[in-house]
Amino acid sequence: MWLIVLLVVAIAFIVLATSRLKLHPFLALLLAAFGYGILSRSASGGSLASVVKSINDGFGETLGAIGIVILAGSVIGVFLEKSGGAARLAQRTVDLVGRRRVPMAMGVIGYIVSIPVFCDSGFILLAPLARSLSSKARVPLAAGAMALSLGLYATHTMVPPTPGPVAAAGMLEADLGRVILFGLIVSVPALLVSWLFSVKIAARVKLPSDEVPSSDSTTESAPDGPSVARSLAPILVPIVLILLRSVCLFPSHPLGEGAVAEVIDFVGQPVVALLIGVFLAFLLPARLTREMLSASGWVGEAVLAAATIIVITGCGGAFGKVLRESNIASVVSPLLGDRAASWGLWLPFVLAAAIKTAQGSSTVAMITTAGIAAPMLEPLGLATPTGRALAVVAIGAGSMVVSHANDSYFWIVTQLCKMTVRQGYKLQTLGTLVQGLVAAATVWFVGAIVL
């Protein structure tokens, strides 16, 4: 029981350190890893020197698996945003769906854009479009804004190459192709329920912007930028390549075992696929300059944005390694007993939801939960390739629940839409709760079929 007590204390410390003491998540995770490692080794008579080795190994193994993937995804996102590619995709979606279906259009836009772009950046980029469309179609801004916010959230938490799911997949040793496949399957119901929430509940809330005619000209003409096909290529090509590799590696070898399969196995490696996406992203600007590729240009900006996530992920991997080497799985398994299968995918979801609600960051919640869940996959019956992938998606679903005052995204949405805090809780917080619960139920349903 001492290991369980230590785990609870470590989780409480991470939450309090990041939310109350305002420590950087990397420092909180690193201190938790050292504290748990030292106390668990002292109790078992193990070597304290082995704690340092576990932390170094966990940090290095995690970053070796997903560091370049996160970095490449960040580069794609920055180029898509700054080249006007994201705005072009938004405009095209509106043209296809129609201005009268503003919530549907904004939800689909958010769903697509947030696969490579952080939801915070995506909302800042697309909020003017939501305001303009809502004004012209005489639709309450709250409906369009919440559809956009929740649409962004659906893929941000569950579909790689967004950093959170990539990091969780690396820590749980899950196949990224399977994570993408299940993430897309689960995120569709999450998107649909966010649209229903927007038109049935959010549309009843009047915001100050509803009374002010919009002067935004975003929708008057197509934004300058790359074509739709060029804008989609950096997103879709890596995803397709990764999925093809996963299919290629099925035991039945549906794509054969010859030279073609070998090529697919190479280009479908997440690192290679995302680097191909990066080169496709370089084609987005009207004119690619050396300044864009420099340390002070677009690439430099992407590297700086990715650095924080990479460091936090590495420390999460170190924490997970220390947990695994303390043999906590052998303690958890008897406690769960015959109920292990029933907990299954719900335990990662509940852990992620608790950490997300307590400290605010979805990415930190995913990384922390992945570190905790990794040694428990065997007793939970999730140690298979499919089980690991579903566990990642379950963690992503939990990291939606809920966005409130300790979440920076909550303030971005409320401030850009001029919501009161009370309206923010009624819309953003309630919306993420509904969306997360539907995603969790979908993960459980899919798991009941495929596990």
Q: What is the DSSP string of 313-340?
A: HHHHHHHHHHHHHTTHHHHHHHHHGGGH
Greatest mean pLDDT among 182-196, 265-279, 292-306 lies in 182-196
Mean pLDDT confidence for 349-356: 89
Q: Is the pLDDT of residue 341 over 60?
A: no
Average pLDDT of every residue of the chain: 85
Percentage, residues of the chain above pLDDT 70 = 92
Contact between 335 and 387 under an 8 Å Cβ cutoff? The reply is: no
The band of 411, judged by pLDDT with boundaries at 50, 70 and 90, is confident
Per-residue pLDDT at 216: 44
The band of 399, judged by pLDDT with boundaries at 50, 70 and 90, is very high
Between 221 and 4, whose confidence is greater? Answer: 4
Per-residue pLDDT at 323: 81
Mean pLDDT confidence for 204-228: 63
Contact between 237 and 279 under an 8 Å Cβ cutoff? The reply is: no
Q: Is the pLDDT of residue 101 over 60?
A: yes
Q: Is the pLDDT of residue 256 over 70?
A: yes
Q: Is the pLDDT of residue 260 over 90?
A: no
Per-residue pLDDT at 398: 95
Q: Is the pLDDT of residue 81 over 50?
A: yes
Per residue in 133-166, pLDDT tens? 777 778 888 999 999 999 999 999 999 888 889 9
Tell me whether residue 448 is exposed, middle or buried, using C-beta atoms within 10 angstroms of its C-beta: 0 to 12, 13 to 18, 19 or more.
Answer: exposed
The band of 339, judged by pLDDT with boundaries at 50, 70 and 90, is low
Angle among Cα 203, 196, 220 to the nearest 5 degrees reads 60
Per-residue pLDDT at 335: 61
Mean pLDDT confidence for 207-229: 60
The band of 217, judged by pLDDT with boundaries at 50, 70 and 90, is very low
Per-residue pLDDT at 364: 85
Query: Where is average pLDDT lowest: 12-16, 35-39, 358-362?
Result: 358-362
Q: Is the pLDDT of residue 332 over 70?
A: no
Tell me whether residue 297 is exposed, middle or buried, using C-beta atoms within 10 angstroms of its C-beta: 0 to 12, 13 to 18, 19 or more.
Answer: middle
Which single residue is written with the structure tokens 């960051």? 361
Q: Is the pLDDT of residue 213 over 70?
A: no
Q: CB 400: neighbour CB atoms within 10 A?
A: 30
Per-residue pLDDT at 326: 82
The band of 214, judged by pLDDT with boundaries at 50, 70 and 90, is very low
CA distances from 266 to 69, 190, 242, 261 (A): 15, 33, 10, 9
* 9 vs 14: CA distance, rounded Å: 9
Between 90 and 13, whose confidence is greater? Answer: 13
Between 262 and 188, whose confidence is greater? Answer: 188
Greatest mean pLDDT among 24-38, 132-146, 219-233 lies in 24-38
Q: Is the pLDDT of residue 307 over 50?
A: yes
Which single residue is written with the structure tokens 């995690």? 62
Per-residue pLDDT at 248: 83
Q: CB 212: neighbour CB atoms within 10 A?
A: 12
The band of 116, judged by pLDDT with boundaries at 50, 70 and 90, is confident
Per-residue pLDDT at 222: 45
Closest by alpha carbon to 81, among 122, 37, 112?
122
Structure tokens at 346: 């719900």
Percentage, residues of the chain above pLDDT 90 = 34
Mean pLDDT confidence for 291-314: 89
Mean pLDDT confidence for 200-208: 89
